[in-house]
Structure 1
């Protein structure tokens, strides 16, 4: 198969995922007004969506033992393509909630399967390519936010047209699984301890990431007399800086190494958050968010890459057959994706609770916790010895 075509298709999957999510979140106030949802009710709806995304990821983990991740990705994209117009065109609030629920499950499936495809391609390429895939997600997020702002004066029903994007991407030339038996052997033990160490680092990242995108605009609005049209710059500056580093991340990681990149990035991220916490003006706070984005940009892609490398390593000196290896890695990646939602819940809830009196205090907590990535960095580059004797 042409790997370059598969790589473009998977990148389109990442881009679509970010585009849909941000195009929806920027229109949340309009959905809230349309259905007369209180802040508490809207928060519960979003919590439901995150929890169902976790369910979707679990579904992907279960099915990955038997089904191709390309098929899972197509299914998730098609589910989102249906859920989006249901949300936007819903005649009643019950139908809207049903659309949100379907989108949440689809989001979890796409979350897991895009990363399954990405780590499989990285294995084929034999060099780091995960950062640029996540860079495509960030680019999609920027485009999605732009769509949301461009359609801000139009009825939310117009956003149903965005559902055509995942519908088109679903038919891309994704990477098929290697031929051979695809049922994951029940006797294979996955080395969860080193994978969990990497997962803790990903929780720390998504805690910061979600905290910025959820509370950053409110920080600018509540802490300073920021013009209303500029409060979104907190998330935009973070996304742009993060996207730029991710796109350059493939070569950067290959040249410098995983552990130094993560350690330096954690320090830079903490410095960026310090700039936010102690910012004298909203302009300085926006700069701090940008520095933070640049510092922590590659934590998530390197986490998935490390988990796949650990899961796919030879066991007891015996390498797995290609089909079994990919089935094993796919199942692990889907479960590993749960760390994403743990971090998202912590970031959205903890920052707000701690910072209920002052969001400066709310952002001071992740400023300290993000430094926890420094001692966890060696877990991303384990000494794996593969003494091949025969394929399983």
Structure 2
């Protein structure tokens, strides 16, 4: 296996993270520039999440026939269009159109990057999903740093500059797919019940993750009274800790096993989120987000890896059937991402309209559920069930 496809897949994750975090860390600027209320921002995030789910479902139908690489390129080019339209919008209706396009292609890129990553992990026969998700985190850090470094840059200038990234990466060399219509047998025998259990862990992760990345800057601005130029510091320490955990996650998973790693991470994440909720000042909030990111970061990549293992089963399937099953499961599994994002971005914002402390208290309860769910991630158990 040459290095080129692996680098291309990582670049796809990087672009996705950079575009998304550059958007969410600029939400206070959207409030000021467009005069949009917190409820209005909540509705925009709801639209993006729902349309992302549609984009993921589209990937489930198209990727087995056209190949995930082609669909990933289409999604990346779509991000370029969305950034240019939304960033240079002359009025709110055009802004909504641009963000709607972004929502659809967000789902396409989410689904197809994970399709590509689980395919490579299967070929390499070792854990690589955490480091790929680390590339997403690295992109998020880059987007956050751009917001911090350019506090006075216009929305149009920053969006136009960022639009170059997905355009360039869209021409990279990804793993080729079969590009053939899926075998009718591909949908037979998929163990959806254990996939739902793994999906529950994924929902919990994205609830906490999206609440952190979407509302962290608003929380620092409105509740903790952070200096205007430092509101993005809510997101940055969370992402840095997540990046470190994910880079180490490949080896830690192979060494400790996914269940033990998830249990330990859940306890750390609970402590971190409690600190966020009770933080009296913004520096304490920074510490809370740092601990939270370190604890919860590996849940999402291990969830996708577990879903792919369940789809492939015990290795007796025909390779084409296994590939079609895996692509179908990953695209469907990606919906758990958006259920969590819906809860994290919309419910946290709605419940926290009066005080985001209350909004952040809700995910603490969800994190406790990761402790009993961890046993589902045992690799031998997953293969046997599949």
Q: Give the structure-1-normalised TM-score.
A: 0.91
Name the SS of the counterpart of 2:65 in structure 1. Answer: coil
CA distance in 2 between counterparts of 1:220 and 1:34 reads 19
1:313 Cα deviation after fit: 0.8
How large is the RMSD of aligned CA atoms in angstroms? 2.3
Q: Residue 306 in 1 paired to residue 306 in 2?
A: yes
Name the SS of the counterpart of 1:286 in structure 2. Answer: helix
Partner of 1:136: 135
Partner of 1:344: 341
**How many residues are aligned here?**
383
Name the SS of the counterpart of 2:66 in structure 1. Answer: coil
Partner of 1:246: 246
Partner of 1:87: 86
The answer for unaligned runs of 5 or more in structure 1 is 388-392
CA distance in 2 between counterparts of 1:213 and 1:272 reads 15
Taking a change above 3 Å as real, the CA distance of residues 96 and 223 of structure 1, as seen in their structure-2 partners, is closer
1:298 Cα deviation after fit: 0.2
Partner of 1:370: 367
Partner of 2:17: 18
CA distance in 1 between counterparts of 2:230 and 2:148 reads 13
Partner of 2:376: 379
Question: Higher Cα Rg: structure 1 or 2?
Answer: 1
Name the SS of the counterpart of 1:152 in structure 2. Answer: coil
Deviates more, 1:293-302 or 1:371-380: 371-380
Deviates more, 1:215-224 or 1:335-344: 215-224
1:331-376: CA deviation from partner (whole Å, max 9, x where unpaired): 1101100111111111123334444454434333322220101111
- Answer yes or no: is the 8 Å Cα contact 1:119–1:305 preserved in 2: yes
Taking a change above 3 Å as real, the CA distance of residues 184 and 6 of structure 1, as seen in their structure-2 partners, is farther
Partner of 1:118: 117
- Answer yes or no: is the 8 Å Cα contact 2:187–2:325 preserved in 1: no
Q: Residue 327 in 1 paired to residue 324 in 2?
A: yes
1:384 Cα deviation after fit: 4.7
CA distance in 2 between counterparts of 1:281 and 1:234 reads 12
Partner of 1:390: none
- Answer yes or no: is the 8 Å Cα contact 1:77–1:170 preserved in 2: yes
Deviates more, 1:277-286 or 1:300-309: 277-286
CA distance in 1 between counterparts of 2:350 and 2:40 reads 17
The answer for unaligned runs of 5 or more in structure 2 is none
Taking a change above 3 Å as real, the CA distance of residues 93 and 242 of structure 1, as seen in their structure-2 partners, is same
CA distance in 2 between counterparts of 1:207 and 1:289 reads 14
Name the SS of the counterpart of 1:293 in structure 2. Answer: helix
Partner of 1:264: 264
Taking a change above 3 Å as real, the CA distance of residues 34 and 137 of structure 1, as seen in their structure-2 partners, is same
1:216 Cα deviation after fit: 2.8
Deviates more, 1:20-29 or 1:113-122: 20-29
Q: Give runs of aligned pairs for residues 173-184 of structure 1, distance below 5 A.
A: 173-178=173-178, 182-184=182-184
Taking a change above 3 Å as real, the CA distance of residues 156 and 223 of structure 1, as seen in their structure-2 partners, is closer
Deviates more, 1:354-363 or 1:98-107: 354-363
- Answer yes or no: is the 8 Å Cα contact 1:179–1:323 preserved in 2: no
CA distance in 2 between counterparts of 1:40 and 1:46 reads 10
Deviates more, 1:196-205 or 1:181-190: 181-190
1:178 Cα deviation after fit: 4.8
CA distance in 2 between counterparts of 1:293 and 1:187 reads 36
CA distance in 2 between counterparts of 1:82 and 1:221 reads 30
Q: Give runs of aligned pairs for residues 178-217 of structure 1, distance below 5 A.
A: 178=178, 182-185=182-185, 188-217=188-217
CA distance in 2 between counterparts of 1:31 and 1:45 reads 11
1:99 Cα deviation after fit: 1.5
User: Which has more helix, going by share of residues?
Assistant: 2
Q: Give the structure-2-normalised TM-score.
A: 0.92
- Answer yes or no: is the 8 Å Cα contact 1:119–1:308 preserved in 2: yes
Taking a change above 3 Å as real, the CA distance of residues 100 and 358 of structure 1, as seen in their structure-2 partners, is closer
CA distance in 2 between counterparts of 1:78 and 1:264 reads 39
- Answer yes or no: is the 8 Å Cα contact 2:64–2:181 preserved in 1: no
1:94 Cα deviation after fit: 2.9
Name the SS of the counterpart of 2:245 in structure 1. Answer: helix
Taking a change above 3 Å as real, the CA distance of residues 230 and 37 of structure 1, as seen in their structure-2 partners, is closer
Q: Give runs of aligned pairs for residues 57-72 of structure 1, distance below 5 A.
A: 57-72=56-71
